[in-house]
Amino acid sequence: MQEACMFDIMALPEDELRKVLPKVSIRIVSRLIASYPRAIGRTLLDVMSRSMSPCALEMLKEEMCAARLPSLHQIREAENEFLHTLHNERTLRNPVSV
């Protein structure tokens, strides 16, 4: 799999985001939002507010308040995990026949 990039995440349709967001950790989502508040942060929050429980949103807010700004390594790690989860989700939906 190629190197993860925020532009890959930004290009995802809302339907894809809605399927992947519940499967990644709150910490990963909070790092992405904190790292790119204007580029993708608002979009992630909007999608989450329509598709996740209020409890999950509250956990996200608490995580963001308690966490420091992520390092470059943590940002890249979050991008990689998000796209890896997306890849796994797509593979489960469309298994390759042997």
In eight-state DSSP terms, residue 1 is: -
**Cα(35)–Cα(26) distance, rounded to whole angstroms?**
14
* Domain assignment of residue 62, yes or no: yes
Query: What pLDDT shows up at residue 56?
Result: 85
Query: What pLDDT shows up at residue 1?
Result: 47
Q: Which residue, 88, 84, 33, is CA-closest to 61? A: 33
* Domain assignment of residue 73, yes or no: yes
Query: Whole-prediction pTM value?
Result: 0.82
* Domain assignment of residue 60, yes or no: yes
* Domain assignment of residue 68, yes or no: yes
CATH for 41: 1.10.220
Note the pLDDT tens digit of each residue in 9-22. 889 999 999 989 98
Note the pLDDT tens digit of each residue in 25-46. 999 999 999 999 998 999 999 9
* Domain assignment of residue 18, yes or no: yes
The residue range of the domain holding 21 is 6-93
Confidence of residue 74 (pLDDT cuts 50, 70, 90): very high
* Domain assignment of residue 1, yes or no: no
Domain count, the chain: 1
